[in-house]
Amino acid sequence: MRLKFTKMHGLGNDFVVVDGVRQPLPENGPPLPAEELRRLGDRHFGIGFDQMLVVQPARKEGVDFRYRIFNSDGSEVNQCGNGARCFARFVRDEELTDKHEIRVETAAGEMTLRVTDDGLVTVDMGAPRWAPEAIPFTAKAEADRYFLVAGNNGYEVSAVGLGNPHCVLLVENVDNAPVDTVGPLLESHEQFPERVNVGFMQVIGRNEIRLRVYERGAGETLACGSGACAAVLCGQRLGLLDDTVTVHLLGGTLQVHYPYSSQDGHSGVLMTGPASRVYDGAIDIPQPSKAR
Ligand SMILES: N[C@@H](CCC[C@H](N)C(=O)O)C(=O)O
């Protein structure tokens, strides 16, 4: 089978976008076998990507598309903020819609994506979930900070769910944060039963942070949209940040807005940034041999 794809990125968090509206794809399960997906995700033996994004037709009224996300380790996940911006740009570039406000169904619920005239995309990431069981995270009670023991060390983290699980550590300087070592240790910490994305946040001021993220199922990426929102939310909850924050990631800058001080539990976190198209391609997917 020949599969057409488009390579895109949001601040260097890179994606292979597969059009399942005009190409036949299985309605459920991965668009291709998990080992094939992992092979294509490999930067030496495949195309290389952090996530594969799948565009599929809507399954209900009031929604424009279905948006599915697969990490490069083959796991399907519910949320990808940078991917959502690329998704919006893709469906407009490909003339699958001419709407500026696009409603998508994800495994975590529905999301609204707004494409502005300057080419940026604002994603309404939904309301944060703080209750440990909603993240999911194992803790006796909800708190601003939790103490985790991993290896021979202890770590103070905040934790929040945004459709996907995040924990955030405060660091003095992201340049020498232990992302490569503590990232994987906490990603698979037993108190996060579905694993977790691990953010390392340096607070510059009440409206500005620097952030590096070790992503679940992908390793450190150049940017993580949901991670940027999670860091801002945790910083707000700790009383360190205001409602609108500029987030500097390795691959560039995002704006995150959440009216934390006046939030009523229903408003969503807004994340704004660019979406870039790199090239189009096609790959031949080997078909499983038929049993005789
Ligand atoms: N890069 C993403 C997040 C992708 C999913 C994440 N690795 C997970 O497993 O939850 C973003 O921009 O939000």
Closest CA to 202 of 226, 175, 183, 230: 175
Q: How far apart are CA 198 and CA 165, in angstroms?
A: 9
Closest CA to 25 of 45, 52, 47, 49: 52
From first to last of its 292 residues, the chain has per-residue pLDDT tens of: 889 999 999 999 999 999 999 998 888 878 888 899 999 999 999 999 999 999 999 999 999 999 999 999 999 999 999 999 999 999 999 999 999 999 999 988 999 999 998 999 999 999 999 999 999 999 999 999 999 999 899 999 999 999 999 999 999 999 999 999 999 999 999 999 999 999 999 999 999 999 999 999 999 999 999 999 999 999 999 999 999 999 999 999 999 999 977 765 567 999 999 999 999 999 988 776 665 5
Domain range list for the chain: 2-125+276-284, 132-268
Fold equal for 2-125+276-284 and 132-268? yes
Orientation of helix 81-93 relative to helix 225-237, angle to 10°? 140
Catalytic residue among 86, 224, 229, 234: 224
Q: Are 241 and 208 in contact (CB under 8 A)?
A: no
For residue 133, give the 3-state DSSP assignment.
Answer: helix
Protein residue with least CA distance to atom 10, ligand 1: 164
Residues in the ligand 1 pocket, defined by CB under 6 Å:
13, 50-51, 71, 77, 79-83, 164, 197, 215-218, 221, 224-226
- Distance, C-alpha 174 to centroid of its chain: 20
Closest CA to 133 of 143, 125, 142: 142
How many Cβ atoms sit within 10 Å of the Cβ of residue 62? 8
Q: Are 21 and 65 in contact (CB under 8 A)?
A: yes
- Answer yes or no: 234 catalytic: no
Domain covering 2-125+276-284, topology: Diaminopimelate Epimerase; Chain A, domain 1 (3.10.310)
Q: Are 258 and 122 in contact (CB under 8 A)?
A: no
Block residue for tokens 């407009």 = 92
153 is known to lie in a ligand binding site? no
DSSP 47-101: ---SEEEEEEE-SSTT--EEEEEEETTS-EES--HHHHHHHHHHHHHTTS---SE
Q: How far apart are CA 62 and CA 153, in angstroms?
A: 49
- Asked casually if ipTM beats, i.e. exceeds, 0.90, the reply is yes
Q: How far apart are CA 188 and CA 195, in angstroms?
A: 5
For residue 217, give the 3-state DSSP assignment.
Answer: coil
225 is known to lie in a ligand binding site? yes
Domain covering 132-268, topology: Diaminopimelate Epimerase; Chain A, domain 1 (3.10.310)
